[in-house]
Amino acid sequence: MDDADVALRNDTYRLVVDLGRVPTAPQVAAVTGRTAEDVLAGWLRLHDAHALVLEAGGTAIRMANPFSGVPTAHRVQAEGRWWYANCAWDAFGICAALGTDGRIESSCPDCGEPLAVAVRDREPDRDDLLFLCPVPAQHWWDDIVAT
């Protein structure tokens, strides 16, 4: 990943926060002086480097980890907004990335009942929940969306 692609990645992430959702290529182009085609080409390189994840077709961001480009079962309220996370790990990651407290809402896959946990000063406010990582680390990127 060269410096130009790191800069594109950082510009993209900055817009995630500014907009409250993952940006489109034209949105990134408009604020960075790049063309949308250049943005898409850079995003593809970042996708290949596992710095973000594109939708099939390569024209939109599916994951700017820990942020999700699509609605999911894992939501985070932080900084006065709701954010979608890719998974429970990423939900805590949104609080971490934003450097703020937050409230995470998800649901138990077994019973379907909603779960909520607050994060205060980097710590969850309850200890009874368990996190399952189903895929060994060496296989996380075999299919990152499924992981």
Residues at the site binding another protein, with contacts judged by CB under 8 A: 1, 6, 9-10, 13-14, 17, 49, 51, 65-66, 87-99, 106, 108-111, 113, 115, 117, 119, 122-124, 126-139, 147
Looking at the Cβ atoms of 38 and 101, the one nearer to another protein is: 101
Distance CA 54, CA 43 (A): 8
Question: Dihedral of the CA atoms 68, 70, 71, 76 (nearest 10)?
Answer: 20
The whole-angstrom separation of Cα 84 and Cα 141 is: 20
Q: How far is the CB of 124 from another protein (least distance, A)?
A: 5
Nearer to another protein, 57 or 130 (CB): 130
Neighbours of 28 (CB within 10 A): 23
Q: Do residues 65 and 90 make contact, with C-beta atoms less than 8 angstroms apart?
A: yes
Minimum CB distance to another protein, residue 74 (Å) = 8
**In the complex with another protein, which residue's Cβ is closer, 57 or 131?**
131
Distance CA 70, CA 145 (A): 11
Strand ranges inside 16-71, DSSP E: 53-54, 61-64, 67-68
Question: Based on CB atoms, which residue is closest to another protein, 40 or 94?
Answer: 94
Q: Of 58, 35, 34, which is closest to residue 47 (Cα–Cα)?
A: 58
Q: How far is the CB of 1 from another protein (least distance, A)?
A: 6
Based on CB atoms, which residue is closest to another protein, 56 or 123? 123
Least Å distance, CB 41 to another protein, is 18
Minimum separation from the CB atom of position 108 to another protein (A): 4
